[in-house]
A and B are shown apart, each in its own frame.
Chain A
Amino acid sequence: MKRKLFLLVSILTLIAVFAVGCGGNKDQATGGNENSGGGEKTLIVRLIGDPMSFNPDTLADDNAYPIVQNLFNRLVKLDASKQVIPDLATDWEVSEDGLAITFHLRDDVHWHDGEKVTSKDVKYTFDYIKGNPTYYMSTRLQLVDSIETPDDYTVVFNMVQPDVSFIADLGWYATFILPEHIYNNGQPWEDNPAAKQPIGSGPFKFVEHKQGESVTLVANDDYHEGRPKLDKLIFSIIPDESTAVQALVNGEIDVLEAVPAANVDELMANPNIRMEINEYPSPMRIIFNMDNETLKDVNLRRAIATAINREEISEKIFNGIQKPEYNYYPSLIEWATNSEDTAPKFNIEEARRILEEAGYVQDADGFYVRGLTIDVFEGYGYPDTAKLIAATLAQAGIELTVQVHEYNAWDQKVAVQRDFMLEMQGGFMGPDPHALYKRLGTGQAGNLGNYSNAEFDELCLKAITIGDMKERAKLYKQAQAILAEEIPYIPLVAYAAYDANNAKFINLPIDGTGKWGWAEYTFTDIAE
């Protein structure tokens, strides 16, 4: 018996020694790797899942977006602050009547196969998208009557009606300029071999995609803004958040976007990791279904808005990272937001008073209103937020039941069937304040609550015919005052998350406000 136990212990010790031995080898191997390859500079970015396609214009694909921004160019692009900056177009002007937008292109841009990028490629790209209704920008491009190319480096968009917000749309999803000489071979874009081996004009060239593992790019030596400082850019696919955090700590990846709130303090304390807050004009919000008889009463909507404790939500659910949002257009976009006409402050007594004055009567259990439901999807702190809201609403005498769905099921119920009373969602309110109209204008696809106000519509539609930012801002502020009055939706917290990276790298996308794109790694380098 004793002998066997001894044997067991010896075997376990042997295994431990072996494991440590392996580890020793591994350390040496890693050290060797960093030095070998002639000091090759590689940056590894975490990617949550596989891109659907390497044709960047067929779908709005969040997994492909950071990759294709480094493979292709657009006319204009969005920077870290989500504002428009030049890309292929050095400058642009809108005609007096707003019906012609002229872009002047750089003349020194080449495709990865050496051909020149010209205005013909731009025209081909947008004509093709417009003609194919399954492509993301197709509906929006119906706004363009025709595209003209007076010379190789000038493009004129002739619009059906004036819309200055169209320029910002060209810097967002699915508007990358594609090479006509490669794609124009009679095959639809999605089935084209070029969608698997993309030829772009961007700072990096495509090498390979191993599904479920990684996407590898190498520097484009002839990039028109100068060769990227990195030699290799690898997007490594790690589906699990906790694993991704550990991989960053262990130096196996270099960039991790949207660090989970639970890991923020731990990573902040790590000297090898740099943390930078990244704010988006994408407020978490409650949408009212304006077709619902109960919710048609603005007093009830106001009472609900008054009984929501944003500070508590921000602190308890998001560790204070996502800040309370009261403005009806994201406060991050300072030129267009209205900080005076805002959503009401948290006040349970006030909420009860509003209901009393509107003639609501308490039932035996103390409720003024019963039977309200809110549909939320799983994750991102949404169900917990809804539960906190239900708790404060109960104090104000409003009964709210939280219904949690898997995301696709939620989308089916809320966005497709429009079968909800209250719903909670996020979503981008950029790249231009015209998003207000896209999300709340009468009959708009993104207006899930079916809100309709003629005056609001008129203000928003007037704002896109004006080029002057001050004039536009005035109109948008008036439009927000209407929203504050009618409360078709309630802003809760402003979306924000920490982007983390290995501290030895500099000039990351987050540092590029006004200089480089949202997920562009052209200037990223190892600090000397």
Chain B
Amino acid sequence: MKRYLFKRLLTGLLTIVIAFVINFLIINLAPGDPIKTLMGKESDDPVLRAALEEKYGLNKPLHIQFFSYLKTAMRGDLGISIIYNRPVADMIAEKLPATILLVLTSGVLSLIIGTAMGIVAARKEGTFIDVLFSGFSYILNSMPSFWLGLMLIIIFSTVLNILPTYGMTDARASYTGMAYVLDVIKHMILPVGTLVLIEIPMYYRIAKSSVLQVTNEDYILTLRATGMSEKKIFNKYIFRNAILPTVTIFGISLAYLITGVSLIETVFAWPGTGRLVLTAINQRDYPTLIGIYLIMSVSIAVVMIVVDIVYAILDPRIRY
């Protein structure tokens, strides 16, 4: 087990390093640079461009830029955003709670609803409910998230006028305490609702197919032959086995938390990390982009290591 753990940690570390190098190269080799955003659209002044390139070291060869960034990154410093002149770590930390709130809430809700629907549909396979749920899931699965978000805004904010259109808090009011919490909840309903609707099909499909698969296993047939009650067979043997892939998917989706919902954040003007990434891409804010991708690759590597270790504990046969 110890050797296995060591090997997993080493590959995890290697993954992060390789991802970091690739990210750095791709981001820097993409056409365009942050200087255009700094200069403004109305200026093509080469003197100004040269001065700004000099200031941010963008006129140096790429390998020198790489090592100077690596040096600061090794000290745990993600650098300063070229565009906003603020520490990248601060900008990410400030936006992370809003995104976590959105992603966790919608993740848990869609996990529960999607899985419940999947189980019901699997148990009633071929019935009206199954057809209804499957159809519902297909329709949702084929909807673009930003379009669905806008439609919900038009229905619930514009036509029915019962929910706020954008943002995380009411710009006109400055609530504190409980009123603030309620205000945020009210602003959360539409973005969370959109995400839940978009994510339900994923959990629905996995839950339904794995329940069906487990139900058709020989040992279930054997259990039925013993005369055990259907309820007990399901709760004790089918459900526990069938839920594993769902948990894995849930874990993996959390690893993509930082950038996973950027479109929804944009449509609802939700101040999260996804929008931070999109803006940084548009403005070619190299330090912010590299910082965010570094955090992402670290979190994915950590989640994968944890998943591997948990699997190894659950199944002692797994030793590579």
Residues of A within 8 A of B (CB): 1, 4-5, 19-20, 22-24, 26-27, 33-34, 42, 44, 49-50, 52-53, 59-62, 133-134, 136, 138-139, 173, 190-191, 195, 210-214, 234, 236-240, 242-244, 246-247, 249-250, 252-253, 405-409, 411-413, 415-416, 427-428, 445-446, 448
Contacts and interface: CB of A to CB of B under 8 A. Distances in A.
B242 interface: no
A247 B284 CA distance: 29
13 contacts: A27-B161, A33-B170, A33-B172, A53-B85, A59-B39, A136-B39, A190-B85, A191-B85, A211-B95, A234-B172, A237-B271, A240-B267, A445-B43
Contact of B168 (A213, A408, A411): A213
Contacts of A428: 42
Contacts, number: 175
B165 interface: yes
B153 A60 contact: no
B153 A214 contact: no
Nearest to A406: B32
B51 A61 contact: no
A139 B40 CA distance: 14
A136 B51 CA distance: 10
Contacts of B169: 213
Contacts of B55: 134
Given A190-B85, A240-B267, A446-B44, A252 B166 contact: yes
B159 to A, nearest CB: 10
Contacts of B41: 62, 427
Contacts of A62: 40-41
A469 B268 CA distance: 49
Contact of B95 (A42, A212, A413): A212
B178 interface: no
A134 B31 contact: no
B167 A213 contact: yes
Given A50-B84, A240-B269, A246 B154 contact: yes
A260 to B, nearest CB: 13
A42 B172 contact: yes
A378 to B, nearest CB: 11
Contact of A139 (B47, B170, B276, B278): B47
A42 B170 CA distance: 13
A26 B186 contact: yes
Nearest to B127: A1
Interface in B172-219: 172-173, 186, 189
B269 A238 contact: yes
B48 A412 contact: no
A20 B165 contact: no
Given A243-B269, A406-B31, A446-B44, 15 more contacts: A1-B127, A34-B172, A44-B171, A134-B55, A138-B51, A139-B45, A211-B84, A213-B271, A238-B269, A239-B269, A243-B153, A246-B154, A252-B171, A252-B172, A407-B282
Contacts of A19: 162, 189
Interface in B1-54: 30-33, 36-52
A311 B36 CA distance: 33
Nearest to B120: A4
A333 to B, nearest CB: 16
Given A211-B91, A240-B269, A408 B42 contact: no
A250 B165 contact: yes
Contacts of A59: 38-40
Nearest to A282: B42
A169 to B, nearest CB: 11
Nearest to A239: B266
B38 A52 contact: yes
Name the residue among B43, B162, B266 with the largest chain A CB count within 10 angstroms: B43
Name the residue among A4, A59, A173, A428 with the largest chain B CB count within 10 angstroms: A59
Nearest to B45: A445
B83 interface: yes
A408 B275 CA distance: 18
A52 B83 contact: yes
Contact of A448 (B44, B129, B267, B278): B44
Contact of B276 (A20, A212, A445): A212
A187 to B, nearest CB: 12
B310 interface: no
A42 B44 CA distance: 38
Contacts of B189: 19, 22
B31 A412 contact: yes
B123 to A, nearest CB: 12
B105 interface: no
Contact of B166 (A1, A34, A247, A412): A247
A479 B83 CA distance: 39
Contacts of A250: 157-158, 161, 164-165
A138 B48 contact: yes
B42 A427 contact: yes
A246 B275 contact: no
B163 A26 contact: yes
A408 B162 contact: no
Closest 9 CB pairs of A and B: A23-B162, A408-B32, A60-B40, A212-B271, A133-B51, A409-B31, A238-B269, A247-B165, A445-B45
B160 interface: yes
B309 interface: no
Given A238-B166, A250-B157, A52 B84 contact: yes
B295 interface: no
B32 A409 contact: yes
B279 interface: yes
A66 to B, nearest CB: 14
Contacts of A20: 162
B150 interface: yes
Contacts of B157: 246, 250
B171 A214 contact: yes
Contacts of B77: none
B125 interface: no
A246 B32 contact: no
A107 B126 CA distance: 85
A226 B271 CA distance: 36
Interface in B61-96: 83-85, 91, 94-95
Contact of A26 (B33, B38, B162, B269): B162
Given A19-B162, A60-B40, A60-B42, A133 B167 contact: no
Contacts of A136: 39-40, 43, 48
Nearest to B193: A19
B44 A445 contact: yes
Interface in B105-146: 127, 129, 146
A211 B92 CA distance: 11
A411 B161 contact: no
Contacts of B153: 243, 246
Contacts of B268: 243
Given A44-B171, A139-B45, A242 B85 contact: no
Contacts of B266: 239-240
A192 to B, nearest CB: 10
Contacts of B44: 415, 445-446, 448
A133 B42 contact: no
Contacts of A415: 36, 44
A42 B172 CA distance: 7
B161 A23 contact: yes
B174 to A, nearest CB: 9
B120 to A, nearest CB: 9
A173 B275 contact: no
Contacts of A247: 165-166
A203 B114 CA distance: 54
B94 A211 contact: yes
